[in-house]
Amino acid sequence: MKGPGTLMEFMDMYQTEEDCRQALFAHRWPDGFVCPRCSGRRAYRLKTRPLFECAHCGYQASLTAGTILEGARVELRKWFLAIYLLATTKKTLSSAELSRQLGIVPQTAWTMRRKIMQAMSRRDNELMLLGLVEMDEAYVGGKKPGKRGRGRRVRPRWPSWPPVALGAGSPRPTCRWWSG
Ligand SMILES: [Zn+2]
């Protein structure tokens, strides 16, 4: 995924929580959903949480499991913006500044900043693939930016709203499937 080159591009790419979820989905399942437990290719999308329930085994797979965003209560948009700001700011952005820019309490900003900075120093996959960090490799890894091989990327199919709400006793939902 190509990352935003400018703040304006960033704003265009991630206007809503939905945009962020789609980016996470594309990162996690670039070729369409795959159940982590049974490798099933079909899933229901849960309405209220960023979860996908495997149609075969019922496993609920999270968009953010195993990433620094796991369990995050702050909006994804704020996370994305924090990552963007921290990745592109030449001088180190303080957590106080982050708190002010994002309108979040200082303690939360401090935690987010720490997680993001740690992930950057590890060059975590999730950040790289979100396209938010690879745009500035000089910052991340000290490497000169250069051409990188781009494999064919299949754009994941993203079911359109309204999604399916799953609940006990609800009739078997008819919904859009998507598979790889
Ligand atoms: Zn499954």
In the block, which residue shows the tokens 């369409």?
Answer: 32
More confident call, 136 vs 34: 34
CA of 116 to the centre of ligand 1 (A): 31
CA of 164 to the centre of ligand 1 (A): 17
CA of 34 to the centre of ligand 1 (A): 8
Of all residues in the chain, the percent with pLDDT exceeding 90 is 19
- Return the pLDDT at 174: 30
Question: pLDDT category, 10, cuts 50, 70, 90?
Answer: confident
Number of domains in the chain: 1
The whole-chain average pLDDT of the chain stands at 70
Residue 35, in any domain of the structure: yes
- Return the pLDDT at 2: 60
CA of 69 to the centre of ligand 1 (A): 22
Residue 99, in any domain of the structure: yes
Distance separating alpha carbons of residues 32 and 30, to the nearest angstrom: 6
Under DSSP, is residue 51 helix (H, G, I), strand (E, B) or coil? strand
Residue 38, in any domain of the structure: yes
Residue 99 pLDDT > 60, yes or no?
Answer: yes
Residue 26, in any domain of the structure: yes
Residue 145, in any domain of the structure: no
CA of 165 to the centre of ligand 1 (A): 18
Residue 24, in any domain of the structure: yes
CA of 131 to the centre of ligand 1 (A): 28
CA of 147 to the centre of ligand 1 (A): 37
CA of 28 to the centre of ligand 1 (A): 15
Domain enclosing residue 82, as ranges: 7-140
CA of 31 to the centre of ligand 1 (A): 16
Residue 178, in any domain of the structure: no
CA of 146 to the centre of ligand 1 (A): 39
pLDDT in tens, 131-156: 554 433 333 333 334 444 443 333 44
Residue 156, in any domain of the structure: no
CA of 61 to the centre of ligand 1 (A): 9
pTM: 0.68
